[in-house]
Chain A
Amino acid sequence: MGITFRQETFRDDFSFRNSPEHIRRFPFPFHEDGYMYAVNIEPHVAGPKGSVLEHPIDVDEHYVSEMQDRALVLAEDPLRCQSLPHMTLAGWDLLELLMTAKAESYPEHFELTRDGDRWHWINRPLGIDDRFTFGDVATLPYGPMEYITRQSQGDFCLLDQRDGNLWMDAGIVTTQADWSLDFDIGMNFFEWHAPVPLAHEKGIFTRALKFLLNVQQGRPARRLNWTMTINPRLDTSPENYHKWGPDRTTVTPENVGKKVHLRVELQSFWRLPRSNGLVFPIRCYLISMDELVTSPKWARRLHRVIRDLPDEIAAYKGLTRYRATLIEWLAAHDDGAPTSPGFGPD
Chain B
Amino acid sequence: MSTGTTKLDVVVADVVTVNAMVKRFHFRRRDGGLLPTFSGGAHVVVEMQDGATPRLNPYSLMSSPLDTREYTISVRRDDAGRGGSLFLHQRVEPGQAMVISYPVNLFSLDLRAKKHLMLAGGIGITPFLAQTAQLAAEGGQFELHYSVRTAALASYGGELQARYGRRVSLYHDDRGEQIPLDRLLSAQPLGTHLYVCGPSGMIDWVRGRAAALGWPAEAVHYEHFSAPQPGLPFTVTLAASGKTIHVGEQQSLLEAMEQAGVDPPYLCRGGVCGQCETDVVSCEGTFLHNDHWLSEDEHRSGRKIMPCVSRFEGPSLVLDR
A–B contact with Cβ pairs below 8 Å: the answer is yes
Give residues in A with beta carbon < 8 Å to B: 84, 86-87, 89, 96, 160-163, 214-219, 273-276
Contact A161 B108 (CB under 8 A): yes
Q: Pick from B39, B218, B273: contact of A274, CB below 8 A.
A: B39
CA distance A163 to B220 in the complex (A): 10
State which of B83-91, B99-107, B252-260 sits at the interface with chain A.
B99-107
In the bound complex, residues from chain A placing their C-beta under 8 Å from that of B4 are 214-216, 219
Give residues in B with beta carbon < 8 Å to A: 4-6, 36-39, 41-42, 65, 102-105, 108, 110-112, 134, 138, 218, 265, 267, 273, 275
Contact A162 B110 (CB under 8 A): yes
Whole-angstrom distance between the Cβ of A330 and the nearest chain B Cβ = 42
> Known contacts being A216-B104, A217-B103, is A273 close to B5, with CB within 8 Å?
no
In the bound complex, residues from chain A placing their C-beta under 8 Å from that of B273 are 214
A to B contact number (C-beta, < 8 Å) = 56
CA distance A219 to B265 in the complex (A): 14
> Known contacts being A214-B267, A217-B102, is A276 close to B39, with CB within 8 Å?
yes
Contact A219 B65 (CB under 8 A): no
Contact A276 B275 (CB under 8 A): no
List 17 contacting pairs A-B, 8 Å CB cutoff, sorted by A.
A84-B112, A86-B112, A89-B138, A160-B111, A162-B108, A215-B4, A216-B104, A216-B267, A217-B36, A217-B38, A217-B103, A273-B103, A274-B38, A274-B134, A275-B111, A276-B39, A276-B41
Whole-angstrom distance between the Cβ of A207 and the nearest chain B Cβ = 13
Whole-angstrom distance between the Cβ of B279 and the nearest chain A Cβ = 15
In the bound complex, residues from chain B placing their C-beta under 8 Å from that of A161 are 108
Contact B38 A273 (CB under 8 A): yes
Q: Is the interface of A mostly helix, strand, loop or mixed?
A: loop
> Known contacts being A274-B39, A276-B105, is A219 close to B5, with CB within 8 Å?
yes
In the bound complex, residues from chain B placing their C-beta under 8 Å from that of A87 are 111
In the bound complex, residues from chain A placing their C-beta under 8 Å from that of B218 are 162-163
In the bound complex, residues from chain B placing their C-beta under 8 Å from that of A214 are 4, 265, 267, 273, 275
CA distance A163 to B111 in the complex (A): 13
Whole-angstrom distance between the Cβ of A44 and the nearest chain B Cβ = 14
Contact B267 A273 (CB under 8 A): no
CA distance A162 to B218 in the complex (A): 9
> Known contacts being A89-B111, A89-B138, A163-B218, is A219 close to B38, with CB within 8 Å?
no
Chain B residue, CB-CB nearest to A85: B112
Whole-angstrom distance between the Cβ of B152 and the nearest chain A Cβ = 35
In the bound complex, residues from chain A placing their C-beta under 8 Å from that of B65 are 274
In the bound complex, residues from chain B placing their C-beta under 8 Å from that of A274 are 37-39, 65, 134
Chain A residue, CB-CB nearest to B273: A214
> Known contacts being A89-B138, A273-B36, A276-B105, is A219 close to B6, with CB within 8 Å?
yes
In the bound complex, residues from chain A placing their C-beta under 8 Å from that of B6 are 216-219
Chain A residue, CB-CB nearest to B42: A276
Q: Pick from B41, B102, B275: contact of A218, CB below 8 A.
A: B102
CA distance A47 to B303 in the complex (A): 40
CA distance A219 to B112 in the complex (A): 26
Whole-angstrom distance between the Cβ of B301 and the nearest chain A Cβ = 19
In the bound complex, residues from chain A placing their C-beta under 8 Å from that of B41 are 276
In the bound complex, residues from chain A placing their C-beta under 8 Å from that of B134 are 274
CA distance A216 to B5 in the complex (A): 6
CA distance A162 to B107 in the complex (A): 10
Whole-angstrom distance between the Cβ of B294 and the nearest chain A Cβ = 14
A96-B37, A216-B6, A216-B267 are known; give 19 further A-B pairs, CB within 8 A.
A89-B111, A160-B111, A160-B112, A162-B110, A162-B218, A216-B4, A216-B102, A216-B104, A217-B6, A217-B38, A217-B103, A219-B5, A219-B6, A273-B36, A273-B37, A274-B37, A274-B134, A275-B111, A276-B42
In the bound complex, residues from chain B placing their C-beta under 8 Å from that of A89 are 111, 138
CA distance A215 to B267 in the complex (A): 11
Whole-angstrom distance between the Cβ of A41 and the nearest chain B Cβ = 13
Q: Pick from A216, A218, A219, A276: contact of B108, CB below 8 A.
A: A276
CA distance A216 to B39 in the complex (A): 12
Q: Pick from A86, A96, A215, A217: contact of B111, CB below 8 A.
A: A86
Chain B residue, CB-CB nearest to A210: B274
Contact A275 B39 (CB under 8 A): yes
In the bound complex, residues from chain B placing their C-beta under 8 Å from that of A275 are 39, 111
In the bound complex, residues from chain A placing their C-beta under 8 Å from that of B111 are 86-87, 89, 160, 275
Whole-angstrom distance between the Cβ of A269 and the nearest chain B Cβ = 13
Whole-angstrom distance between the Cβ of B26 and the nearest chain A Cβ = 20
Whole-angstrom distance between the Cβ of B65 and the nearest chain A Cβ = 6
Task: Tell me which of A96, A214, A275 has the highest count of chain B C-beta atoms within 10 A of its own C-beta.
Answer: A214
Contact B5 A218 (CB under 8 A): yes
In the bound complex, residues from chain A placing their C-beta under 8 Å from that of B105 are 276
CA distance A217 to B6 in the complex (A): 8
CA distance A161 to B104 in the complex (A): 13
CA distance A163 to B110 in the complex (A): 10
Task: Tell me which of B36, B38, B42, B112 has the highest count of chain A C-beta atoms within 10 A of its own C-beta.
Answer: B112
Contact B5 A217 (CB under 8 A): yes
CA distance A215 to B105 in the complex (A): 11
CA distance A89 to B110 in the complex (A): 12
Chain B residue, CB-CB nearest to A160: B111
In the bound complex, residues from chain A placing their C-beta under 8 Å from that of B37 are 96, 273-274
In the bound complex, residues from chain B placing their C-beta under 8 Å from that of A219 are 4-6
CA distance A6 to B137 in the complex (A): 44
In the bound complex, residues from chain B placing their C-beta under 8 Å from that of A217 are 5-6, 36, 38, 102-103
Chain B residue, CB-CB nearest to A86: B111
> Known contacts being A214-B275, A217-B5, A219-B4, is A273 close to B110, with CB within 8 Å?
no
Whole-angstrom distance between the Cβ of A159 and the nearest chain B Cβ = 12
Task: Tell me which of A214, A216, A217, A275 has the highest count of chain B C-beta atoms within 10 A of its own C-beta.
Answer: A217
Chain A residue, CB-CB nearest to B193: A162
